[in-house]
Structure 1
Amino acid sequence: MKKLHIIKAGTTYASTVQALGDFDDWIAAAVACSGLPVAVVDVFAGAPLPSPEACCGVLVSGSHAMVTDNLPWSVAIEAWIPSLIESATPFLGICYGHQLLGRALGGQVGYNPLGREIGTVLVSLTEDGLSDMLFRGVGATFHAHTIHEQSVLELPQGAVALARNPHDPVHAFRAGSCAWGVQFHPEYTVPVMKEYIAAEGEHRSGELLGQVRETPEARQVLTNFASIARLHF
């Protein structure tokens, strides 16, 4: 039986895991309404990657690592992604996963020249994003939770930018017909975002905490992706 596979590319802070769960928990909760069987693959702990034939869809989580560190488990995911694209397996990379998709297909990933982006921010869809199935039901401008230092600095050839903001011109993109990356975190809740702001010791923490709000439109991205994966079940 095919499953919706969540590729766990790291783990959050121990205190956050204890209080709120981990990356895979947040993603699984957001796609639970699909009714699809979900499998978590903890590559960070050495679990093998599934074959494309076993996947009705794949989500790659965020991570505290950096793509440019070229860690062995990360390089393995990067090398595996093209096989998913070739088999037309629906793919969604979140933050770290977004960057891995970009680099796996020939784009450039590195430190964002504007530095770290953290907190609840506004993201706007491009003209292509407005008509993309991943963003069905999402407004032209929406709030999203984010924390990242690296970005997709140059898109892979043929990829289409779907969302942007002043900090990051590639907050989302599509490659081919069924592979997407989003730099923001559609799986984050308000408590998770607040935990990250506090844990990072951000000097603007008071201001940033005051700006944290619910992000239902960003979360809709995960619901939409689960619907796409269901078509391949």
Structure 2
Amino acid sequence: MGLLIVKNITREGPGILKGLLLKNNINYEIVDLNAGEEFPEPENYSAVIVLGGPDSANDTTEKMLNELEMIRKTIDAGIPYLGICLGMQSLVKACGGSVHPNEVKEIGFRGGDGDYYSVNIKEEHTNDHLFTGLENPVKIFHLHGETVDITNEMELLATGKYCRHQIVKTGKNAYGIQGHFELTPEMFRVWLDSDPELREMDREMLTRDFDLLADEYRNTGRKLFGNFLKIAGIIQV
């Protein structure tokens, strides 16, 4: 049936994931909610991936209310799900958790102490199939000001220094990742040009960090997305 990829803003696309899909001849469909396209019924797809964007999962717009409804349908139907940034927050919100401002905004590759942002996979979850082949901790790119509180039915798989809830799971096959592992060099340049918060930062430093981490970042993204596609049964193990 193929993979459904949902964009919340036009500039935030599948990036590294798209290359993986093309390499493996995987059928996929991209819908852009920001362009007025509708979130289709999830039961027509093998898996659903919802990407990031500047909205809040707390918004009461028709777009967000419908998005939350479709995510609930996805989870209720047992369809594999992966949420990135807003897609993670929307997953938590749709499944009974809450979304609220984080104490600090995480933007770029480094925190206020100058160290790289990273996610630390909790010891009891290192064997989760999403993390197969990954080092621990994992460096990550961030662009968010909100975070989540999860329910007792959800699992916290990985934590961060400034934002505790970095990777969450609900049920057998629904995951949310607070940060971004999908950026290609082309996407990164578009974000630097377009995102208002990134435009306020030191572009030279951001570009230097991206270049320094390029190989590690790309390999991590390929492994994470590949692992999810295997969990979803779209790529055979």
Give 1:17's aligned residue.
Answer: none
Q: Name the structure 2 match of 1:15.
A: none
Matched ranges for 1:136-151 at <5 A = 136-151=132-147
The 1:210/1:76 distance shift into structure 2, 3 A limit, reads: same
Q: Which residue of 2 aligns with 1:8?
A: 7
Moved more, 143-152 or 184-193: 184-193
2:232 aligned partner: 229
Q: Read off the aligned partner of 2:101 and give its amino acid letter.
A: Y
Identity %: 24
Q: 1:149 to 1:31 in 2, by over 3 A?
A: farther
Distance in 1 separating the partners of 2:9 and 2:183? 15
Q: Secondary structure at the match of 1:230?
A: coil
Provide the rounded CA distance (Å) in 2 between the counterparts of 1:44 and 1:72. Answer: 12
Aligned pairs for 1:1-233 (under 5 A) are 2-12=1-11, 22-24=12-14, 26-119=16-109, 121-152=117-148, 154-193=149-188, 195-197=190-192, 199=195, 200-212=198-210, 213-214=213-214, 215=217, 216-230=219-233
The amino acid that maps onto 1:176 is: G
1:25 is displaced (CA, Å) by 5.0
Q: Helix, strand or coil: the match of 1:97?
A: helix
More moved, 194-203 vs 177-186: 194-203
- The secondary structure found in structure 1 opposite 2:29 is strand
CA distance in 2, matches of 1:187, 1:131: 22
Q: Aligned residues, how many?
A: 222
Distance 1:9-1:26 versus aligned 2 partners, 3 A rule: farther
Partners of 2:175 and 2:224 in 1: CA distance: 10
Equivalent residue letter for 1:70: T
- What secondary structure does 2:26 align onto? coil
Which amino acid in 1 is paired with 2:125? G
Distance in structure 1 (CA, Å) of the matches to 2:124 and 2:63: 33
Deviation, 1:204, is: 4.5
Q: 1:173 to 1:164 in 2, by over 3 A?
A: same
Answer yes or no: is the 8 Å Cα contact 1:144–1:218 preserved in 2: no
- 1:205 Cα shift? 4.2
Quote how far apart the aligned CAs of 1:207 are.
3.9
RMSD: 2.3
Q: Contact conserved, 2:156 with 2:167, CA < 8 A, in 1?
A: yes
SS of 1:48's equivalent in the other structure is coil
Compute the TM-score of the two structures, normalised by the length of structure 2: 0.83
Q: Hey, what's the Cα distance between the residues in 1 that align with 2:39 and 2:191?
A: 28
Do the aligned residues in 2 keep the contact of 1:138 with 1:218 (CA within 8 Å)?
no
Deviations 1:198-227 (A, max 9, x none): 652334444444332121224411111122
Q: Secondary structure at the match of 1:28?
A: helix
Q: Distance in 1 between matches of 2:92 and 2:180?
A: 16
Q: Distance in 2 between matches of 1:167 and 1:190?
A: 26
